[in-house]
Each structure stands twice: as C-alpha cells, then as structure tokens.
C-alpha cells in the first residue's frame, strides 16, 4: 500500500472514529466532555423592558453560560423611546406573533438552549418546549395557559386594566406607577417601586395581553416536552402561586420531568426584587441536577 493510500485510509478512520476517539483521549487526560447545553435564552414578559434581565445575565455568564436576551417583538429600542412612541407597530402585535418571533431566534442558534421565561415569557417557554426547540425550560411566575384561572381579588384587580376591554384595542396599555406598585412591586419600598418603574416599565400591546385568553395560549399538556421547572412567588399579586400550582398539576405524565417550587416572600418583580439571587440559585441547581436528562 503506497503512502497516499495509507493516508487516505487513516483520514477515513479518523472521521468514522473521531468522536469516540476524542472522548477516550479526554478521559485519559482528565478533561470533561459534555453534550450539555451551555446556552440560555431569557424570554421577557409583558410590561417590562428586556434589560430587566441584566443582573441574571451576568449571574449565568459568570457560571460559564452563553446568555442571550433578545428584545420581544417591536421592542428593540430603549425604555424612553418606547414610551415616546407607544402605539404602532407594537399595538398590532399578537401573542402568536410574539411566540413565532422567539421561536425563529431560538431555531437559529447553534445548539438547543435552555429557556428561562418570566410571566408572559413563561407561557411562551411552555409553548416552545412542546415544539422541541429547547433542551429544558424554566418558567418564573408564569402567566397561566388558557383555561387556568382564579377569582382571587389581587389577580382580577391586576389584569382588568391591561386587558382593556372597555378601551380601544389599538391603544397600548402603559401601567401607572400606582398599578405597578400594586401588581409587580408590592411589599417593596416607595423608592424601589419608583426606581424600578423608571428603569423598566414600557407600553404593552392589548392584543398580546388578550392573547392569553385565546388559542395562542393553549398548551397540550400530554405532548412530549423537555424537562420543565415551574416557580411561583407567595406574595405575587398578578400571578398568585395557586395559578402556577394549577399549571403544574396539569402535567400528569410521569414520563416527562416537571418540577414545582413556591418561593416565599417573592412578588412578581422577582427579577429585580431584593433577594433575586435566591431564585437564580435555585434555577442554577435545578439545571445542574437535571442536565443529563435534558433533551
């Protein structure tokens, strides 16, 4: 066998045996070879700017994750700009379009990510998990899917105005400081409520808010899905813990991982509330514990 033929045979064997060979070499040298996802995509909820994730982004980046925080549909500008021009095209967006927006971004990544969504973003994560675009998902104080409701006063008071059924659909809803203080930041100091309002609150499409009552918000709980963690907050006014627990109990199959945890003293603004690290740490531990089971 001449030299060129030997070289061709050797290269062919390397292609065929490349992955097992590299794994064996890594084990000998003490290196760790993992297929675990190291990409996290944060999915932002309604009424707030995506920069609300800034501290969480830093937290998970320091753990070695690649963290992506895409702006939601028609929200790719600053808080100030969105407040100055609050209607079109944002007012024309639907929940289905927002879900498609995130799905397109996620499918364009090099690997399936771990999805972490808050509020409306949590509902979007549940939807995307059923489409097999992620390795695992975490929903934080998630807006419940269609069909799950409560008559608790704090919930009804919080959602009545954003739905805006007695107002024009083409005018987006901009939360007042008073509404923000009750709905998101209850229990926090006046200065904390004002500061968070100035930094993060933006107009929201009434069409998107109403989408929670349409087929766009329907979840097929029997459909195969990647591991899922559902978190709730004991002091959450707009999404009471009982709603998240009802959401959790809808998943009846023992074949797929679904975990639930109620976090004490946390309101709906848990992403920026003092003690947010507690929830972030819990998510970190859950991810590390279940990574081998991620899809």
- The whole-angstrom separation of Cα 236 and Cα 240 is 5
Residue-level pLDDT at 1: 53
Check if the beta carbon of residue 141 is closer than 8 Å to that of residue 236. yes
Question: How buried is residue 276: exposed, middle or buried, by Cβ count under 10 Å (0-12/13-18/19+)?
Answer: middle
Q: Is residue 6 part of a domain?
A: no
> Could you report the per-residue pLDDT of 110-135, keeping only the tens digit for each?
999 999 999 999 999 999 999 999 99
Q: Is residue 115 part of a domain?
A: yes
Residue-level pLDDT at 212: 87
Q: Is residue 278 part of a domain?
A: yes
Per-residue confidence in pLDDT tens, the chain, 295 aa: 554 444 444 444 443 444 443 333 333 333 333 456 799 999 999 999 999 999 999 999 999 999 999 999 999 999 999 999 777 889 889 999 999 999 999 999 999 999 999 999 999 999 999 999 999 999 999 999 999 999 999 999 999 988 887 777 788 999 999 999 999 999 999 999 999 999 999 999 999 999 989 999 999 999 999 999 999 999 999 999 999 999 999 999 989 999 999 999 999 999 999 999 999 999 999 999 999 999 9
> Could you report the per-residue pLDDT of 31-79, keeping only the tens digit for each?
333 456 799 999 999 999 999 999 999 999 999 999 999 999 999 999 9
Residue-level pLDDT at 168: 78
Residue-level pLDDT at 169: 77
Q: Which domain holds residue 137?
A: 39-293
Residue-level pLDDT at 223: 94
Q: Is residue 19 part of a domain?
A: no
- The whole-angstrom separation of Cα 30 and Cα 265 is 43
Residue-level pLDDT at 36: 66
pTM across the whole model: 0.87
Q: Is residue 131 part of a domain?
A: yes
Q: Is residue 203 part of a domain?
A: yes
**In 3D, which of 201, 217, 236 has the Cα closest to residue 46?**
201
Which two structure tokens, joined as six digits, stand for 108?
Answer: 């364009």
Task: Name the DSSP letter for residue 111.
Answer: S
Q: Is residue 29 part of a domain?
A: no
Residue-level pLDDT at 106: 98
Residue-level pLDDT at 102: 98
Q: Give how many domains the chain has, as a whole number.
A: 1
Q: Is residue 103 part of a domain?
A: yes
Residue-level pLDDT at 2: 55
Q: How far apart are the first and last CA of the chain?
A: 45
Q: What is the CATH number of the domain that holds 175?
A: 3.40.50.1820
């Amino acid at each position: 066998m001449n030299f060129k033929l030997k070289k061709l045979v050797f290269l062919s064997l390397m292609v065929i045996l490349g992955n097992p060979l590299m794994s064996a070499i890594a084990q000998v040298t003490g290196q760790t070879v993992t297929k675990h996802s190291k990409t996290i995509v944060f999915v932002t909820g309604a009424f707030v700017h995506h920069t609300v994730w800034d501290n969480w982004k830093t937290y998970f980046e320091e753990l070695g994750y690649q963290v992506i925080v895409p702006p939601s549909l028609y929200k790719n500008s600053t808080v100030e700009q969105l407040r100055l021009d609050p209607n079109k095209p944002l007012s024309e967006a639907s929940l289905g379009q927002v879900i498609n927006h995130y799905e397109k971004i996620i499918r364009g990544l090099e690997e399936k990510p771990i999805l972490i969504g808050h509020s409306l973003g949590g509902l979007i994560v549940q939807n995307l998990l059923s489409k097999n675009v992620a390795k695992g998902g975490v929903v934080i104080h998630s807006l419940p899917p269609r069909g799950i409701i409560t008559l608790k006063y704090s919930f009804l008071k919080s959602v009545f105005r954003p739905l805006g059924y007695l107002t024009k659909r083409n005018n987006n809803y901009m939360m007042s400081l008073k509404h923000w203080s009750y709905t998101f930041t209850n229990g926090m100091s006046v200065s904390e409520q004002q500061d968070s309002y100035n930094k993060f609150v933006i107009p929201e499409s009434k069409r998107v808010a109403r989408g929670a009552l349409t087929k766009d918000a329907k979840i097929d709980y029997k459909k195969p899905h990647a591991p899922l963690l559902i978190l709730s907050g004991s002091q959450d006014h707009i999404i009471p813990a009982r709603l998240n627990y009802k959401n959790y109990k809808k998943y009846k199959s023992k074949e797929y991982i679904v975990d639930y945890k109620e976090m004490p003293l946390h309101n709906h603004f848990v992403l920026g509330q003092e003690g947010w690290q507690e929830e972030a740490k819990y998510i970190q531990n859950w991810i590390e514990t279940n990574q081998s089971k991620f899809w």
